[in-house]
Structure 1
Amino acid sequence: MSARVLVVDDIPANVKLLEARLSAEYFDVMTASNGAQALEICARAKCDIVLLDIMMPDMDGFEVCRRLKANPATHFIPVVMVTALDSPSDRVRGLEAGADDFLTKPVSDVVLIARVRSLTRLKMMTDELRLRAVTSLEIGVQAPERDAVADTGKGGRILLVDDRASSYERLASVLSAEHTVDVETDPSEALFHAAENSYDLLIVSLGLENFDGLRLCSQARSLERTRHVPILAIADANSNTRLLRGLEIGVNDYLLRPVDKNELLARSRTQIRRRRYTDHLRDNVQNSIEMAVTDGLTGLHNRRYMESHLVTLAEQASLRGKPLALMMLDIDFFKSINDGYGHDAGDDVLREFAVRIRKSIRGIDLACRYGGEEFVIVMPETNLHVAGMVAERLRRSIAGEPFAVHKGAKRIDVTISIGLSILERKGEPVADVLKRADIALYRAKHDGRNRVVAQAA
């Protein structure tokens, strides 16, 4: 799918020029002649990046950018200001309004296309994370957009890689006003330093004396620990070719020497804000995954996870010629606990029951809440005899000590019934193993409960 670019300018000739340049590179181009139109198009999620003029009659580009970045629904859309204004103060003002970049007219086609491609790649990656995190909202995980809007981008951890004292001393002095800064003068050590610490931003000089700064940037992108850390490159004024190459390999932003201190701070804040936002998205995705496979009350894996993972464990046991045992457990008379002491007490029992299960099994064993008061424990490399010993130990640990409920105000006796089965032959369906454990559990309950029964020989 081609990236969708919104060009916002009140001068038709400028719009036509940008539209022709971008269309030639196979971007889908939309246009708006004023700020209100631009905001409306972005609100409908119709674009992947905005190229925004500043000098417009109804609402200038600074205000349009501020509104886009202040709205959680449009905050994540990259904005590039393309304008005839060229003073450092204008660039800083645009960056402080939330712009992701500030390009001064006339902009070369190569620079424009490289920047648009770089930012749209980042946008599409963010969109994928946002899409994966949609279920986070449904299960109560906080969406990060509102925090991102309020984030100042300050208080970050920055690694500055520069081997010229006159340069890194000045840059570190400026950055230290808002961030914690570590300086690495040995480029060959920089990657190890970056991987061992949790940095919010890498700032890399491309003018290193005996080392290719772009190679360092490329290595940072290929290493798992630093793959998502934004990179801000510092380059000399005549380094356009190298900067364009840098954008292709994953450099997020750049500054040309002599470096304006306010622009350095503004671009650093932008990158740190984005890093925090994408980190929040990744955390939400991870939380969603964990919640999808974990029982919220007990913290054990849920039935969905058990049924899928049990197939893998059974296949591994068959391939290795190792035994696999399965234990199905049921809390005796659990309904009477809920009826007599309340559902809160029942929840207390389930939580404590999960704790005692964890204490009674090995790290390689898989414990799951199968549903209600039923639990399943899968034990790799375990025969029926050993599984019976583990089950009996667990039964005694449950029956031997009363369960505290109502925050310790009451203590009640609890017992369990357990059914055991084993994987009998290579390629046997796991449903058959579960069925035999369920039959053994039924026998345990029928024979008086508070006992362990193994499958029939």
Structure 2
Amino acid sequence: MSARVLVVDDILTNVKLLEAKLSAEYFDVESALNGPDALEICARGETDIVLLDVMMPGMNGFDVCRRLKSEATTAHIPVVMVTALDQPGDRLKGLDAGADDFLTKPLDDTALFARVRSLVRLKSMTDELRNRALASRRLGIADPLAAAAMETGLNGRILLVEDRPRVSERLETALSAFHQVEIEPDPQQALLRAVEGDFDSVVVSLDLNGYDGLRLCSQLRSLERTRNVSVLMMGEAEDRTRILRGLEIGAHDFLIRPIDRNELVARVRTQVRRKRFTEKLRDSVQSSMEMAVMDQLTGLHNRRYMDTRMAAMFDESALRARSLALLVLDIDHFKSVNDSWGHDAGDEVLREFADRVRACTRGIDLVARMGGEEIVVVLPDTALDAAYAVAERIRERVEADPFAIQGNARTIPVTVSIGVSSRRAGDASPAEIMKRADDALYRAKASGRNRVIAANAA
């Protein structure tokens, strides 16, 4: 997997050495000799992962990492701190600064390349989400990247898969101060619980009794219900080959025994933060998709979606020689509601009107707001007489009970006029059905309102 790697080190010899190693593995390498230059390159979106030295003059690696992880535009970039510092406190300081990993010099090339590929793969999974989420700004959604970058990674739901009671109790004690922790010693039951639960991270022991923990990691990454859960492996120092294999199959991080409780807390927090970061982007994309096709006031589909979907329904109806009917509904004297009680009351009426129409239709029917107080209902596999019956049911439902306005402080009567039409053999487009339904609606309005009129069948 090719990627753009930024090497940040104030010693040129170190930079050249890493450049040569990474280039030989077909990575595109750029370098920076100080923190400010590294921040500028990252801000331009020109890197997929940062290999960051700690000991630099002026702005050290910890400060650079904090800056990157605090900015909405760069928080998603993986950072691996590379340093000669080898004390647990140093590693913890890097993780607390937001680093995704902390590697000690001299570097193990195989481990380095595996970690870089793993983190780049994870980043690529979020890049498209980021681009789509950014596009949602045009729809008026608050900045999704800023909201995602504010995630703390605390109070997550953690599933700990460990079959040694003393070990699991010690790990639970360390994590439970910051998260909700559940322990499951049986790996097969752990998979079921992960599928059924809403966990942020699953911490898996690789040396379970009689079971290969890597198999569980692989299953967690492959199942749709658990694909977005972060997976953190725990293994012995001699498990190095298996740990690297775990990174290849999609596990997110690992810990080497004996496990430092502070490092455990820091790495789990990083994984929870990353998972929630992605979730917030995904939610933003979903919201933007809904806003593109939904009317925000009524929750019905909007005109744009209706035009596209109705055309497809018309084509299918013609191809299969099946019935297709259409209703056009218009609230009677709606302008007087706005004039007498205000636009807020008008909005309340529209929302309730939409709910009553929706309650009288099927899941396969298309219900859309055309604009103003007008709603269109498209009924597949429905003949004209059956569509008339649906329209009459809606009319009765609207008239039956007054509509609450002003926060339920007052009620007012509301009625609706409805025009009905159906597809004819000679129709070339849904516009012809719509025109006949509009004409029928006009006749319903002209003849006294609060009634249903159907266009004549062909």
TM-score range with shorter-chain normalisation? over 0.9
CA distance in 1 between counterparts of 2:69 and 2:14 reads 24
CA distance in 2 between counterparts of 1:119 and 1:426 reads 59
**Secondary structure of residue in 1 paired with 2:47:** coil
| CA root-mean-square deviation | 2.2
CA distance in 2 between counterparts of 1:368 and 1:277 reads 33
Matched with 2:49 is 49
Matched with 2:275 is 275
CA distance in 1 between counterparts of 2:303 and 2:45 reads 38
1:87 aligns with 2:80: no
Matched with 1:115 is 115
CA distance in 1 between counterparts of 2:176 and 2:427 reads 63
- Following superposition, the deviation at residue 255 of structure 1 comes to 0.9
Matched with 1:223 is 223
Q: Which amino acid aligns with 2:84?
A: A
CA distance in 2 between counterparts of 1:408 and 1:88 reads 62
- Following superposition, the deviation at residue 339 of structure 1 comes to 3.7
Matched with 1:206 is 206
CA distance in 1 between counterparts of 2:148 and 2:371 reads 39
Q: Is the 8 A contact 2:427 2:433 kept in 1?
A: no
CA distance in 1 between counterparts of 2:401 and 2:166 reads 70
Q: Is the 8 A contact 1:35 1:61 kept in 2?
A: yes
Deviates more, 1:267-276 or 1:233-242: 233-242
Matched with 1:18 is 18
Deviates more, 1:179-188 or 1:139-148: 139-148
% identical equivalent positions: 60
1:5 aligns with 2:24: no
Q: Is the 8 A contact 1:324 1:381 kept in 2?
A: yes
CA distance in 1 between counterparts of 2:243 and 2:46 reads 30
Q: Which amino acid aligns with 2:430?
A: V
Matched with 2:160 is 160
CA distance in 2 between counterparts of 1:155 and 1:347 reads 39
Q: Is the 8 A contact 1:144 1:277 kept in 2?
A: no
Q: Is the 8 A contact 1:84 1:106 kept in 2?
A: yes
Counterpart mapping for 1:357-396 below 5 A: 357-396=357-396
Deviates more, 1:86-95 or 1:120-129: 120-129
Instruction: Tell me the TM-score normalised to structure 2 length.
Output: 0.93
Matched with 1:422 is 422
- Following superposition, the deviation at residue 78 of structure 1 comes to 1.0
1:124 aligns with 2:124: yes
Q: Which amino acid aligns with 1:36?
A: P
Matched with 1:450 is 450
Counterpart mapping for 1:302-381 below 5 A: 302-317=302-317, 322-381=322-381
- Following superposition, the deviation at residue 308 of structure 1 comes to 2.4
Q: Which amino acid aligns with 2:158?
A: I
**1:368-425 CA-partner distances (Å, limit 9, x unpaired):** 1011221111223322112111211222333344434344555444332211122334
- Following superposition, the deviation at residue 16 of structure 1 comes to 0.5
Counterpart mapping for 1:283-294 below 5 A: 283-294=283-294
Q: Which amino acid aligns with 1:443?
A: R
Instruction: In structure 1, list runs of 5 or more residues that go unmatched.
Output: none
Q: Is the 8 A contact 2:80 2:101 kept in 1?
A: yes
Matched with 1:72 is 72
**1:91-114 CA-partner distances (Å, limit 9, x unpaired):** 111001110000111112221111
Q: Is the 8 A contact 2:85 2:104 kept in 1?
A: yes
**1:4-35 CA-partner distances (Å, limit 9, x unpaired):** 21110000111011111122222221111011
Deviates more, 1:401-410 or 1:255-264: 401-410
Q: Is the 8 A contact 1:318 1:426 kept in 2?
A: no
Counterpart mapping for 1:192-271 below 5 A: 192-271=192-271
Q: Is the 8 A contact 2:34 2:59 kept in 1?
A: yes
- Following superposition, the deviation at residue 362 of structure 1 comes to 3.0
How has the CA–CA distance of structure 1 residues 33 and 336 changed in structure 2, closer, same or farther, with 3 Å as cutoff?
Answer: same
1:431 aligns with 2:428: no
**Secondary structure of residue in 2 paired with 1:239:** helix
Counterpart mapping for 1:92-111 below 5 A: 92-111=92-111
CA distance in 2 between counterparts of 1:426 and 1:265 reads 70
**Secondary structure of residue in 1 paired with 2:330:** strand
- Following superposition, the deviation at residue 307 of structure 1 comes to 2.2
- Following superposition, the deviation at residue 361 of structure 1 comes to 2.4
CA distance in 1 between counterparts of 2:426 and 2:222 reads 41
Q: Which amino acid aligns with 2:22?
A: L
Q: Which amino acid aligns with 1:124?
A: S
Matched with 1:398 is 398
- Following superposition, the deviation at residue 320 of structure 1 comes to 5.9
CA distance in 1 between counterparts of 2:245 and 2:316 reads 47
**1:267-304 CA-partner distances (Å, limit 9, x unpaired):** 01100111111111111111111222111111111112
CA distance in 1 between counterparts of 2:187 and 2:374 reads 57
Q: Is the 8 A contact 1:315 1:427 kept in 2?
A: no
**1:145-190 CA-partner distances (Å, limit 9, x unpaired):** 4454444322111111122334323322322232221111111222
Deviates more, 1:336-345 or 1:211-220: 336-345
How has the CA–CA distance of structure 1 residues 24 and 431 changed in structure 2, closer, same or farther, with 3 Å as cutoff?
Answer: farther
Matched with 2:29 is 29
Q: Is the 8 A contact 1:98 1:270 kept in 2?
A: yes
How has the CA–CA distance of structure 1 residues 303 and 258 changed in structure 2, closer, same or farther, with 3 Å as cutoff?
Answer: same
Matched with 1:171 is 171
Deviates more, 1:429-438 or 1:48-57: 429-438
How has the CA–CA distance of structure 1 residues 312 and 211 changed in structure 2, closer, same or farther, with 3 Å as cutoff?
Answer: farther
Q: Is the 8 A contact 2:147 2:280 kept in 1?
A: no
Q: Is the 8 A contact 2:134 2:144 kept in 1?
A: no
Q: Is the 8 A contact 2:9 2:56 kept in 1?
A: yes
- Following superposition, the deviation at residue 316 of structure 1 comes to 5.0
Q: Which amino acid aligns with 2:343?
A: H
Matched with 2:62 is 62
How has the CA–CA distance of structure 1 residues 208 and 427 changed in structure 2, closer, same or farther, with 3 Å as cutoff?
Answer: farther
Q: Is the 8 A contact 1:327 1:391 kept in 2?
A: yes
CA distance in 1 between counterparts of 2:408 and 2:262 reads 59
Q: Matched residue pairs, number?
A: 457
How has the CA–CA distance of structure 1 residues 215 and 312 changed in structure 2, closer, same or farther, with 3 Å as cutoff?
Answer: farther
Q: Is the 8 A contact 1:214 1:246 kept in 2?
A: yes
